[in-house]
Amino acid sequence: MAGGLDRGVDFVTLRSPLTIFADQTGSIGTTYTAAAADGALYIGTNQGVFVRLRRPQRVCACRGHPGQVWQLQNFDRNLICGHNGGTFVITNGQASRISEVTGGWCTAPVPGRPGVLLQSTYTGLLVFRKMPAITGHSPFGSTVLPSR
């Protein structure tokens, strides 16, 4: 279906699997990434991480790390947040820092190395290794790869 708009014609999809979410207040900011975890939708913006709960349907901020979020990605049931202020694991809306290296930009699994992630940052590369589960401790340890 086509629709006439103020500045031209646009295509309208009547049966789309996508849903548009409009931030009417402007408090969320510009969205860069999103991921589903813990039965909620996590939204990464230039203002921090926000959680959209299903019941009740509302959006609230995750505390503790306002600012630019570059990536939200699920790895082995862990939600990793690449952020201007470092890298976090988010569980049930709570963030735990796993690296203080700024600008966690893009995190990816290393092929053939289960539990190992490689992350680009503002200043270089990091390697994260999944650690044995210990209550109260981060599930990942990190190593900074030296630049040459």
- pLDDT, one tens digit per residue, over 73-118 is 998 888 999 999 999 999 888 888 889 999 998 999 999 998 889 9
Check whether 1 has a pLDDT greater than 60. Answer: no
pLDDT of amino acid 60: 83
Which residues are registered as beta bridge partners of 76? Answer: none
Nearest in space to 59 (alpha carbons), one of 83, 43, 35, 39: 43
| pLDDT class of 39 with cuts at 50, 70, 90 | confident
Pairwise pLDDT comparison (136 vs 50), residue with the higher score: 50
Q: Which helix (H) or strand (E) holds 112?
A: none
User: What is the CATH T-level fold of the domain 30-145, as seen in this structure?
Assistant: Methylamine Dehydrogenase; Chain H (2.130.10)
Q: 44-80, pLDDT tens digit by residue?
A: 999 999 998 777 677 888 876 789 999 999 988 889 9
| This prediction's pTM | 0.77
In the numeric block, the tokens 């408090």 are attached to 27
pLDDT of amino acid 120: 93
**Domain residue spans of the chain:** 30-145
Show the CA angle centred on residue 105, arms to residues 104 and 111, nearest 5°: 95
| pLDDT class of 139 with cuts at 50, 70, 90 | low
Joined tokens for residue 60: 């609230």
CA distance 11 to 51: 30
| pLDDT class of 30 with cuts at 50, 70, 90 | confident
